[in-house]
Amino acid sequence: MREIQISTGSRTEMIDITSQVQESVDLKGLESGIVIVYCPHTTGAITINEGADPAVKRDILSVMNHIIPWEHDYRHAEGNSPAHIKTSLFGESVTAIVESGRLCLGTWQKIFFCEFDGPRRRRVWIKTIAG
């Protein structure tokens, strides 16, 4: 397993980590198998979505912040319930196929770390499995 560090700069953002995931595949010499990308934080998530047009990330975050606002009658004492809810909706991990040493992603797809309670220093774990 490989761990990467991510420093986020705002309360909510999506950071493209595709190159770091591919680097993990390269370092392991994985030719065929899968890679699991996992976030061990309860207010951060992992997703695969379009990475070509930055407006997609903006739209996703804008709608999520609208649907799950920071101001509401939340009961969680730490004050970051919206981040926990968003993380639950996105999920803590993704799995991608690897063939010929390359991530098998669609033309426009990228792997993103999603920050919902930043800015913070985060960890992401990457596990490659041959197969």
pLDDT score for 97: 98
Percent of the chain with pLDDT over 90: 95
Q: Is the pLDDT of residue 78 over 90?
A: no
Element at 83 (helix H, strand E): helix 81-90
Q: Is the pLDDT of residue 13 over 90?
A: yes
> Residue range 87-104: average pLDDT?
98
How many domains are contained in the chain? 1
**d(C-alpha 49, C-alpha 105), whole Å:** 10
Query: pTM of the predicted model, to two decimals?
Result: 0.96
Can you give the residue range of the structural domain that contains 64? Answer: 2-130
What confidence category does residue 79 fall into, taking pLDDT thresholds of 50, 70 and 90?
Answer: confident
> Residue range 17-34: average pLDDT?
98
- Give the dihedral sign, CA 87/89/92/94: negative
Type of residue numbered 121: R
68: CATH:
2.60.120.460
C-beta atoms surrounding 35 within 10 Å: 23
What confidence category does residue 77 fall into, taking pLDDT thresholds of 50, 70 and 90?
Answer: confident
Q: Is the pLDDT of residue 57 over 90?
A: yes
> Residue range 50-61: average pLDDT?
97
What confidence category does residue 21 fall into, taking pLDDT thresholds of 50, 70 and 90?
Answer: very high
Q: Token match 């220093």: residue?
A: 121
pLDDT score for 16: 98
